[in-house]
């Protein structure tokens, strides 16, 4: 299988590339930085500039699957200009990919798989969300993901198997949210946010990358939640990280107004609650390697024997 990956040099992209190469797949990747262009055995870079609609059409040569991970990080202060960048970085990349596929009549692409986000689901501590949910969160994130997915759906008109993976909190030692959550805990200043009862639907980075490949290999289409089977509350997440790091927690939870003062509107992502189901992808035959948060953290921090919660006892514990 030959795969074209956008966002290949990002956190998830690097793991996905590694898994593709380990399976013997050939990887083409698109980058906006000419300094990142490399040409190795089974790994070839191509330049593009979605802002101006520029792309090297040779990136499609013999590619059967496109996996789209491109998009500006939401973990920066949400100024008006940055909000525009977050949205346009997602829409512009999809526009360029659509146009080059539409124009290149002899391409061999059969599947288009794109990242999305669970931020589309309404903020709720009570609901348990499945892919069939039609309500959209009335926040900036909800607006972005709704527009993002609407654009992804257009690839169906090109007769491609089109899939969306709504990604939750990605757990990795190499970037993303986990190192930022763990940092204050390491320095004895860790605490949950707000009530701490907000749900965090998370996924180990290895399982997420495996999921993208599973969708490609199984010729699946539609929407799939990129989350583990066992979401946790923010209180539980912080406690488990502290346990793995062997650090005490003694500070009270951090009030919402403090984080709003520090981060502005972006603080919303710390307090939003989405309890999301992984049942659909599991019913297709996907098996999670890391089903509970303790096992995932054990692996990430390379600390075995600290998790004594049997997988079968926690699996979907909170599902209705």
Percentage of the chain exceeding pLDDT 90? 91
pLDDT at residue 275 tops 80: yes
Query: Tell me, what's the pLDDT at 122?
Result: 98
Separation of alpha carbons 208 and 168, rounded Å: 9
Q: How confident is the model at residue 41 (pLDDT cuts 50, 70, 90)?
A: confident
Separation of alpha carbons 119 and 139, rounded Å: 9
pLDDT in tens, 73-126: 998 999 999 999 999 999 999 999 999 999 998 999 999 999 999 999 999 999
Q: How confident is the model at residue 312 (pLDDT cuts 50, 70, 90)?
A: very low
Cα atoms found within 13 Å of the Cα of residue 317, Cβ hemisphere only: 13
Residue where the block lists tokens 């490609």: 216
Give the other-Cβ count within 10 Å of 302's Cβ: 8
Strand, helix or coil at 203? Answer: strand
What superfamily in CATH does domain 2-168+202-226 come from?
NAD(P)-binding Rossmann-like Domain (3.40.50.720)
Beta bridge partners of 39: 44
The number of residues making up the chain comes to: 320
Q: How confident is the model at residue 231 (pLDDT cuts 50, 70, 90)?
A: very high
Torsion angle, alpha carbons of 296, 66, 146, 7, to 10 = 60
pLDDT at residue 309 tops 90: no
Query: Tell me, what's the pLDDT at 238?
Result: 97
Query: Tell me, what's the pLDDT at 303?
Result: 82
Query: Tell me, what's the pLDDT at 307?
Result: 73
Domain residue ranges in the chain: 2-168+202-226
Averaged pLDDT of the chain: 94
Separation of alpha carbons 199 and 204, rounded Å: 16
Residue 50 neighbours by CB under 8 Å, 6+ apart: 32, 70, 89, 92, 93, 95, 96
Separation of alpha carbons 298 and 304, rounded Å: 6
Separation of alpha carbons 204 and 301, rounded Å: 12
Query: Tell me, what's the pLDDT at 129?
Result: 98
pLDDT in tens, 148-198: 999 999 999 999 999 999 999 999 999 999 999 999 999 999 999 999 999
Residue where the block lists tokens 């399982």: 207
Query: Tell me, what's the pLDDT at 262?
Result: 92
DSSP 266-305: GGHHHH----B--HHHHHTT---S--SHHHHHHHHTT-TT
Query: Tell me, what's the pLDDT at 229?
Result: 98
pLDDT at residue 313 tops 60: no
């Amino acid at each position: 299988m030959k795969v074209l990956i956008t966002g290949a040099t990002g956190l998830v992209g690097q793991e996905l590339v590694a898994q593709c190469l380990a399976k013997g797949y050939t990887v083409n990747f698109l980058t906006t930085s000419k300094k990142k262009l490399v040409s190795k055995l089974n790994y070839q870079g191509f330049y593009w500039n979605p802002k101006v609609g520029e792309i090297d059409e040779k990136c499609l040569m013999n590619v059967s699957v496109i996996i789209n991970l491109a998009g500006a990080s939401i973990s920066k202060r949400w100024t008006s200009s940055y909000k525009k960048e977050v949205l346009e970085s997602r829409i512009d990349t999809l526009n360029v990919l659509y146009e080059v596929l539409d124009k290149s009549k002899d391409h061999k692409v059969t599947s288009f798989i794109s990242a999305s986000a669970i931020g589309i689901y309404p903020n709720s501590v009570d609901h348990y969300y499945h892919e069939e949910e039609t309500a959209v969160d009335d926040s900036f994130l909800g607006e972005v993901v709704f527009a993002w997915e609407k654009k992804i759906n257009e690839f169906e008109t090109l007769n491609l198997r089109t899939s969306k993976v709504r990604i939750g909190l990605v757990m990795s030692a190499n970037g993303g949210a986990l190192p930022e959550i763990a940092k204050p805990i390491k320095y004895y200043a860790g605490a949950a946010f707000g009530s701490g009862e907000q749900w965090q639907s998370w996924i180990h980075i290895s399982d997420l990358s495996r999921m993208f490949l599973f969708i490609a290999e199984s010729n699946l289409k539609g929407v799939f939640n990129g989350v583990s089977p066992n979401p946790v509350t923010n209180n539980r997440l912080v406690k488990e990280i502290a346990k793995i790091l062997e650090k005490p927690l003694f500070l009270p939870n951090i009030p919402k107004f403090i984080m709003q003062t520090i981060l502005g509107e972006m603080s919303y992502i710390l307090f939003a609650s989405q309890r999301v189901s992984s049942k659909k992808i599991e019913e297709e035959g996907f098996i999670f390697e890391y089903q509970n948060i303790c096992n995932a953290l054990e692996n990430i921090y390379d600390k075995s024997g600290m998790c004594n919660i049997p997988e079968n006892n926690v699996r979907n514990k909170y599902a209705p």
